Chain A
Amino acid sequence: MFNRSFVKYYHLMLLPGILLLILFSIVPMFGVTIAFEDFMPTKGIFRSEWVGLDNFNYMFSLPDSRQVFVNTIAIAVMKIVAGLAVPFVFSLLLHEAANAKFKRTVQTIVYLPHFLSWVILSGVIINFLSLEGIVNRLIEWFGGNPVMFLQSNHWFRVVLVTTDVWKEFGWGTIIFLAALTGINPSLYEAAAIDGANRFQRLRFVTVPGMVATIVLLATLSFGNVLNAGFDQIFNLYNPIVYQSGDIIDTYVYRAGLLEAQYGLSTAVGLFKSVISFVLIAASYGLATRFANYRIF
């Protein structure tokens, strides 16, 4: 069905949204010229001095920014791995529970943290991990020494990965549970008739049936290698743990909006945007080619 007179309505329907996207997404993209300038707010974008790649050279020479890149990738990769493994194992266990009511109750509970903001959850975590908090009292009860989790470079990344898993693992199970229900039940019947026990059915029917989903999710997560989670880290960190927990996004915020190093901040941000863009495009390309995945 093709109706020429409809087309102008389609343009009209898209117009307000497209205008807003131009205003708040495309216009700021031109602002990346700041990355190549010695930007002075009083002079503006057009009259500030052009310095070429100076900001980028400066960025690579700073020990801070090198540490920031290392932290970002380390934290993001640990989160990606844990964020795939934990929901996978949990959904397998949940799938084994026969009681539907019990299953639903557990699901309802584990999804909850996903809907709460990192501001709120940080408040909760700071209580939980404080020196008088429940975790440290448990450690003392077992005879250990209390740990300052949020003031220790040794523990900070562990806290980040653990609390991220805590918030998101329940939500992450949804996609695995959907894949589990997609496995043909007759395969289980056939396996049972052939004498496969519970573990063998898991090993030879369930896991092979999940491989495609895992590979797809792993591929798509490549695009997140530079996203270590601004909201979480911003709400949990402090200057003592910058060494292990400062990431690109928090660094861009501090350099750009607190220390007024506009050129440097924009350069770091642009560097991240470009690499992320390439990674996402590549991962979608791979997913499309090998898993027939399309987002639109």
Chain B
Amino acid sequence: MVIRGNNRLVDAFIYVFLAFVAFMSLAPILNTLAISLSSKVAVSAGQVTFWPVDPNLFAYKQVLQDRSFFVSFGVSVKRVLLGGGLNFLLTVLMAYPLSRTSKQFPMRNGYMWFIIFTMLFSGGLVPWYMTINKLGLMDTIWALVLPPAVPVFNVILLMNFFRGIPKELDEAANIDGAGPWKILWTIYVPVSLPALASVTLFSIVGHWNSFFDGMILMNHKQNWPLQTYIQQLLVSVTSIMNTTDPEEIKRLTNLSGQLLNAAKVIISMLPIAVIYPFLQRFFIHGIVLGSVKE
């Protein structure tokens, strides 16, 4: 039984407030969407709010002709497939042995402390960069895929999920003669699909969104993933702006083509927007799954 307040006014206030906050969450994004669909004149006059002024697809047509945008889009897709696949494989392979008790697997705690240590401590940026450089990975897709290949946080989430699976399943499979390899792939993986979906989506979003590794590890433009491309295009212009003169700022921002950038920002959001409904369902499941244990 749920008890509700009988004060209609308070209820109305709560609903209006929640709706307002939800709108504010989308407002900046809607603004950029409206800019991308408006005319250049309207944008530079600052007439665009949340609805396109003189709606047209000019910016999107321009972006479609920009080859380097699609080259970078391709790099991103490639890193998501390779990196996400590798993350999935290693997460499953590591979570299973670590989900054993230290009686079943005596070295378990040693491995556990090791991976926790790698999560908590790091050598810092310069040594990390030099290691990748020395390994000859610069300007290859592997520089984006191998260093983050073991998502320790996901391993721990999945490990905790595996621990909740009834031991009777294990024992039954064991009596039927199944070894660890078979138990993992025919029992643990199929019964953990929701958890696997959530950790996989975590790593897909992580790979899609990361720009920094692309920026420092890829010297050639054609190897940039999409986020790095966008970063260089629109943010690096503002980050070198050493001026508070409004006219100068206007000149620099116009140089970068506000309208085109808005269209590029919107297009690069699309993949996330497409998988968002799935994200919604699984992520929430996923974040609660590791955190609540009795």
Q: Name A residues whose Cβ lies closer than 8 Å to a Cβ of B.
A: 1-3, 5-7, 9-11, 13-14, 16-18, 20-21, 23-32, 34, 90, 93-94, 96-99, 102, 105-106, 108-113, 115-117, 119-128, 130-134, 137, 148, 150-152, 166, 170, 174-175, 178, 185, 188-189, 192, 197-198, 201, 230-231, 234-240, 252-253, 256-257, 262, 265-266, 269-270, 272-273, 276-277, 280-281, 294-296
**Chain A hits for B67, CB < 8 A:** none
Q: How far is the CB of A203 from chain B (nearest CB, A)?
A: 13
Q: State whether A295 touches B126 (Cβ < 8 A).
A: no
A256-B205 contact given A128-B31, A174-B288, A240-B243, CB 8 Å threshold: no
- Chain B, residues 116-143, CB within 8 Å of chain A (1/0): the string is 1010111111111111100100000000
**Chain B hits for A270, CB < 8 A:** 123-124
**Interface check B100, CB cutoff 8 A:** yes
**Chain A hits for B227, CB < 8 A:** 117, 119-120
**Interface check B107, CB cutoff 8 A:** yes
Partner among A16, A20, A137, A231 whose Cβ is within 8 Å of the Cβ of B46: A137
List the 8 closest A-B pairs by CB distance, nearest first. Answer: A31-B127, A269-B124, A132-B46, A198-B5, A117-B209, A28-B123, A10-B97, A25-B118
Q: State whether B230 touches A120 (Cβ < 8 A).
A: yes
A31-B123 contact given A117-B210, A132-B46, A134-B49, CB 8 Å threshold: yes
Q: State whether A197 touches B5 (Cβ < 8 A).
A: yes
Q: State whether B131 touches A27 (Cβ < 8 A).
A: yes
**Interface check B65, CB cutoff 8 A:** no
Interface residues in B151-204 by Cβ distance below 8 A to A read: 152, 155-156, 159-160, 167, 170-171, 174, 179-181, 184
How many angstroms between the C-alpha atoms of A116 and B279 in the bound complex?
12
Q: State whether A123 touches B261 (Cβ < 8 A).
A: yes
Q: State whether B265 touches A124 (Cβ < 8 A).
A: yes
**Chain A hits for B135, CB < 8 A:** 23
Q: State whether A16 touches B45 (Cβ < 8 A).
A: no
Q: State whether A124 touches B288 (Cβ < 8 A).
A: no
B132, closest chain A residue (CB): A24
Q: How far is the CB of B157 from chain A (nearest CB, A)?
A: 10
Q: State whether A127 touches B241 (Cβ < 8 A).
A: no
B275, closest chain A residue (CB): A115
**Chain A hits for B57, CB < 8 A:** none
A108-B280 contact given A131-B249, A134-B31, CB 8 Å threshold: yes
How many angstroms between the C-alpha atoms of A214 and B195 in the bound complex?
26
How many angstroms between the C-alpha atoms of A14 and B109 in the bound complex?
13
A296-B116 contact given A16-B93, A102-B15, A127-B258, CB 8 Å threshold: yes
How many angstroms between the C-alpha atoms of A231 and B209 in the bound complex?
10
Q: State whether A13 touches B111 (Cβ < 8 A).
A: no
Partner among B7, B27, B171, B205 whose Cβ is within 8 Å of the Cβ of A198: B7
**Interface check B59, CB cutoff 8 A:** no
How many angstroms between the C-alpha atoms of A197 and B10 in the bound complex?
12
A117, closest chain B residue (CB): B209
**Chain B hits for A148, CB < 8 A:** 244, 246, 249
**Chain B hits for A6, CB < 8 A:** 104-105, 179-180
Partner among B147, B156, B180 whose Cβ is within 8 Å of the Cβ of A10: B180
Q: How far is the CB of A114 from chain B (nearest CB, A)?
A: 9
Q: How far is the CB of A13 from chain B (nearest CB, A)?
A: 5
Q: How far is the CB of A72 from chain B (nearest CB, A)?
A: 15
How many angstroms between the C-alpha atoms of A257 and B128 in the bound complex?
11
Q: How far is the CB of B180 from chain A (nearest CB, A)?
A: 4
Most buried by A among B100, B129, B131: B131
Most buried by B among A94, A108, A112, A123: A123
Q: State whether A14 touches B265 (Cβ < 8 A).
A: no
Partner among A2, A124, A234, A265 whose Cβ is within 8 Å of the Cβ of B32: A124
**Interface check B293, CB cutoff 8 A:** yes
**Chain A hits for B104, CB < 8 A:** 1-3, 6
- Chain B, residues 21-34, CB within 8 Å of chain A (1/0): the string is 11011111101100
How many angstroms between the C-alpha atoms of A2 and B126 in the bound complex?
45
Q: State whether B112 touches A126 (Cβ < 8 A).
A: no
How many angstroms between the C-alpha atoms of A92 and B199 in the bound complex?
28
Q: State whether A273 touches B31 (Cβ < 8 A).
A: no
Q: State whether B238 touches A93 (Cβ < 8 A).
A: no
